[in-house]
Amino acid sequence: MKNYVASVFLRTIAYIPFKLSNFVAQALGNFLYRINSKLVRVCRKNLSLCYPDLSSKEIEQLCALRVKYFIKTVFEIPKVWGQSETWINSNIKKIRGLSSFESYTGNKNGLIIIIPHIGNWELLGLWISAKTRMTSIYEPPKIKSLNSWIKKNREKFGADLVPANSSGVKKVLKALKNGEVVGILPDQFPPENSGEEALFFDIKTRTMTLIHNLINRTNCDVLTAAALRADDGWEVHFKIVEDDLFNSNKFVSLNALNNEVQEMIKLSPEQYQWEYKRFKDLRLNDVKFYETI
């Protein structure tokens, strides 16, 4: 029943006008913050850990703002999936680093685009896939009834979504060797066999090794990218990555990967997924970090 309700909810909000959905999202975000929901508690805990120099008042202000952005994202994504390429292009008001994207997609080396969970990554994925052939690793939703609907919408402009397993990695590797674009979201907590510890906000946490391994096996280029909300739409940012990401030393490379995510977060901290349990392996005073939430 819970999965059914979630499925109906996401499909329904795709048809709600943007102004109304923004109003509802704002009200729901305020409500969740006021009742100190679990989402709020995780967000606050992550922010306090990553920004130790901020006062408790500043943490609360950022936390409250983040919760509103999170709900806006929930309402936005199904609506963005239903839009045309023309609509997406008209609502991207500025693209920073476009020349890097165009030059890298034109040199046939293969390109990894690192897309952190900030702003609207679904909009960014649709925009990129409409411009060039793109393969992305896809983690099916826990609600199985949504799988085909989500996959169809993400692939609507020509993207190829592949599973997060060995067969998917083989397809990603093939795409890079063919000079194509691969999109990877880098900032989730990976399984033990596909991650190693690296520093994220100076805190050791398990970090995906996939990007490091793909770089070592190909001669590909790498960019970081994000679609951040602006007053009247979105701004897309493409950033050339630091040299350390290409270092053969895994620890150096993984630190650089996390630093790339941090650089994007600096652009708009309130638009990052602070409600996600990124530090699942962290223990403080021999207690798991999220255990006391």
Q: pTM to 2 decimals?
A: 0.94
Partners of residue 137 on adjacent β-strands: 162
Are 181 and 108 contacting, i.e. CB atoms less than 8 angstroms apart? Answer: no
Count the domains in the chain: 1
Q: What pLDDT digit, counting tens, does each position of 51-63 carry?
A: 999 999 999 999 9
d(CA 205, CA 197): 5
CA distances for 181 relative to 108, 127, 133, 208, 263, angstroms: 9, 13, 6, 19, 22
Average pLDDT over residues 170-190: 96
In a domain, 65, yes or no: no
> pLDDT over 70 for what percent of the chain?
98
Helix or strand holding residue 120 (H, E): none
Q: Supply the mean pLDDT for the chain.
A: 94
In a domain, 111, yes or no: yes
In a domain, 93, yes or no: yes
Sheet containing strand 92-96, edge to edge, reads: 92-96, 233-240, 221-230, 111-114, 181-184, 134-138, 160-163
In a domain, 131, yes or no: yes
In a domain, 221, yes or no: yes
Partners of residue 114 on adjacent β-strands: 184, 224
Whether 4 has a pLDDT exceeding 80, the answer reads no
In a domain, 92, yes or no: yes
Domain span holding position 184 = 87-288
Average pLDDT over residues 256-274: 98
In a domain, 114, yes or no: yes
In a domain, 26, yes or no: no
Burial of residue 119, with CB atoms counted within 10 A of its CB: 0-12 exposed, 13-18 middle, 19 or more buried: buried
